Structure 1
Amino acid sequence: MKHIIAATAISILPTVGMSQDLSSFTQSLLGFSCDSEDLPDLNIVFGEYDGALRIIHPVGPKGHLVEKTGYGYKFSLDTSNAYMTKKDDGWTFHYSAEDGPFEAECSSMGDMPKELSIAIWQIVLGGSDLTTVPTQPKPDLAKLCFDSDIGAADIGGPFELVAPDGSSVTDADIITEPTLIYFGYTSCPDVCPIDVDRNAAVLEVLEEGGYSARSAFISLDPKRDTPEVVGSFAQAMHPRMLGLTGSHEQVRKVTKAYRVYYKAHAPIDGEYLIDHSTFTYLVTPDEGVLQFFRREMAPERIAKQLSCYIDAKKG
C-alpha cells in the first residue's frame, strides 16, 4: 500500500476522460501514507486537476479542493474538515468522522524518482521543499474533535442564578472547566432523568480516563425547584453536577441566551408538565459554547470527543 502513486493515476485516468498523458499527470501528484489503529494503511493523494489542487485519492480527481496553508493542507472528506499538518519528523492527519475524531501519523511518499519528487514539491508548494513549510499558527485542531462545527453561533453568554446553598452565582463561578449544561426540571417524569443520567455517565467515563469536567443542571421550574430541591437532584446524579435555579426573570434570561425552548402546560390537580428542548451544551471558560449534543448520543461518544478536546488544548 505504500507505493500507490502510479497505480492510482493509472486506475483513475480512464474514468475521468483526461487529455493529459500519464507522465504529466503523475508530475502533479503529492502522496501521503498514513497509519493508525483506527485508520490502517490510509493513503491520500493530492493532484492538479482542472487548474486546481484536489484530492484525487481516495475520492477521485473531481473531488474536494485542497487548500495549501502555512501549517500544511486543509481539505474536506464527506462533510467534515480534515487537516494534514507538518511535523518535524513527518505529517499528521486529523479528521472528525461521525463515529469520532481520528488521527494518524503520515509520511510523504518521497521514495519516487528524484526528478518526479522535485516536480511534485515545486508544483504543490510553489518551489519550497516539504521539510521547509513556513511556520505559521496552526488551526484550532481541538474543534476537529467534534462531529460538527457550530462556528460563531450566537449561543450562550453571562448569567446569574442561585446555587443549592442559596448563594448567587454567575457563569464565571460555574464554568471553570469544560462543563456540560442541561436545562430541565426535577418533576420531569421521563426525559430529564434519562438525559441527566447520560451526562453523569459522561463524567464517569472521563474520570476513568483521567479527565476532569463538570456538569450543571439548570431548572426551568423555579416555582417548584427550590435551591435545595434542584441541588439534591443534581447531587444524586453525580457529585460533580451542580443544580441551579433562580427567579423567573433569571431563568428567562439564561434560556434566552442559550436559545432554550420551554413552555409550561396548564396545571391539572395542581401539577403541570413543561415542554422543553433537550440539548446538552458543552461550555468552556475561554471559548464559551463549543458544541451541543443531542439526547440520543451515547455517553462514550461524548466522552471521546471531550477527551480529544482536552488533549488538544494541552498541546
Structure 2
Amino acid sequence: MPDQLLQLIPHPIATSRGVRLLLWRDDLLNPDLPGNKARKLKYNLVAAREQGHTRLLTFGGAYSNHLAAVATAGRLHGFGTVGLVRGEEHTPLNPTLARCVADGMQLHYLDRTIYRRRAEPEFLTEIQQQFGPGYLLPEGGTNPLALRGVAELIGELRQHTDFDAVAVAAGTGGTLAGLALGLAEADYPARALGIAALKGASFLQTEVNSLTQAAIGQTLPNYELHLDYHFGGYAKLPPELRTFIQQFETEFGVLLDPIYTGKLLVSVLDLIERGHFAPGSTVVAVHTGGLQAWVGFGR
C-alpha cells in the first residue's frame, strides 16, 4: 500500500503537546469507491453474490454517501440497485441523487413516517414484495459483515506505524465498531475514538455494542465515544467549521468533507489540546471520504 495513504499532520496544537498526529487517507484508497463505504460493502457484496442476488436494496437520505456508494458498487460489480430515499422527491435531483441515477440506481421515495419502519422485519418483507427480491443493506451499510471490512484497516495501519489511538467520525457507529473489532482481534493495545457527527447521538454506544455482540458475541471496552462536536447537528456547516476546513486544506493540502471529517479533525485537535492524549502518543485520524457532499454546500 502506498506510503502517501498515511500523512503526517504537523499542526501546531499537536506539536506543542508532543503528540504525533497522522491522517490515514482512506479517501484515496479506491478512486471509484473511496472511503469507509467500500470497506463496509466488501463482504456484503460477497454475501449477496453467494446468495444468488442480482439486486441490492438500501435506504438513505437525499445526501447519503451510502446511497451513492451502493449505486457505484452496483455499477462496478454488476448488481442492479434500488435506493429507498427518506422524504419527498424534489426535482431537479441534487448532485448526490443525480450521481446515483447515473450509476443505474432506481430511486423510490418514502415519507418520513414510513421510513422510520426501515428496520422492522415485517416492513422489510413488504419492501421485498414491492420491489422484487434483493440483498437488503441497512441505512449506512452498517451490519456485522460491514465490521469485517472495516476491521481490516487496523492491519493496514500497523504495516506503516505503531499508534495509541485511531479516531473516526461516527454516523451509524459501524466504522467505529469495526475499528474496535480490528483492535480486539489483533490484541493491539490502542483505543478507537468515535466522534459523533449528529446531535443527540448517545444511542451510538448501544449501536456499537449491539454490532460487536452480533459479530463476535461480546461487547468491547476498547473504544470511546465523543458527543460534543456535532456543530449543531448532522449536515450542519456553521461558519467556524467551514473556516477550519478551508484553513486545514491551505495548511496541509487535504480537503475534508463537510459532514464527517471536518468535525473529526476539529475534535481530535481539541482533545489533544485538552491533554486527552499523553505526550509522545501517536494518534491516527481516518479520512473516510464523502467529498461528493461538498456539491450540496456551495463550495
Place the TM-score, normalised by the shorter chain, in its bin: under 0.3
Larger Rg: 1
Question: Which gives a bigger RCO, structure 1 or 2 (Cα 8 Å, sep 6+)?
Answer: 2
- TM-score (norm: length of structure 1): 0.19
Higher strand share: 1
- TM-score (norm: length of structure 2): 0.20
